Amino acid sequence: MFAQGSVVFFDSGVGGLPYLATARDLLPSVPMHYVADDEGFPYGTKTPLQIETLLLERMRRIRSRLMPAAIVIACNTASQVGLPALRAAHPDIPFIGTVPAIKPAAASTSSGIVGIMATERTVADPYLDDLIARYASDIEVEKLSAQKLVSFVERRYLASSEEERRLAVAPFVDSLLARKVDRIVLACTHFLHLEKDIAAYCEICGAGDVQIVDSRQGVANRLAQLVEDGTISVQEGDRSGKPKSEDCFLLTSEAPFDPAYAAWADRFGLLPPERL
């Protein structure tokens, strides 16, 4: 069913879908499949060993069934914890990780105070401290775990009202605004679905100068670069720029699936969910 030469986007759930959408804008003719590890969700509350074990098992399944040319780990927690093990286990395939966009946030801040919203695991992981030391050592960085928002996006987002989303983001944004940040880094891919809600709440709070920063464009640019220079050999198809109906949405659990995943697949122009 699946031709060789696709790019697979992998996340613990639906967080990585905006990354797939941004990559499609740059590479509209490249087949792109999406895998959500709904069986392993969430990653942010798990230990590094648990995450690494899940990732190694999921990648074996992905490679066996999809035969991808490259895999994008569209999950900050999985990237920080598991990329070294994945690259060691699969040295013949390019992995592109998702790194919190601390560097552009630090470079553009006016107040010198940057906030980071992430999962529990990402906040606790030394990798984040290393990024801060490398790219933001001369500014103040406020780290904030917003783990509850991950499940809100995965389970409630599609059926939520604007008011529900505002109430969901409010305590986390309030905490960062109280620390006088002027940049908020979304260091969990799930939070990208709430970007507009976070920005709108900042406006309500009189903090319209606060900018929301994420890494989706950087990841898409990196993928495009590897395709263009031949590092990744993809099977290109229709160049119309329209979403490709053959791009699949796969889940790791047994059917029947949560009906919300069918709605997510439709929202991003993917085929209805099936089991990986």
What is the set of active-site residues? 75, 188
Helix (H, G, I), strand (E, B) or coil at 175: helix
Quick one: which of 58, 60, 2, 7 has its CA closest to 34? 7
**Residue 95 CB neighbour total at 10 angstroms:** 18
Long-range contacts of 102-107 (CB under 8 A, 24+ apart): 102/131, 102/132, 102/135, 102/136, 102/141, 102/185, 103/131, 103/135, 103/136, 104/213, 104/218, 105/136, 105/183, 105/185, 105/213, 106/135, 106/136, 106/138, 106/139, 106/141, 106/183
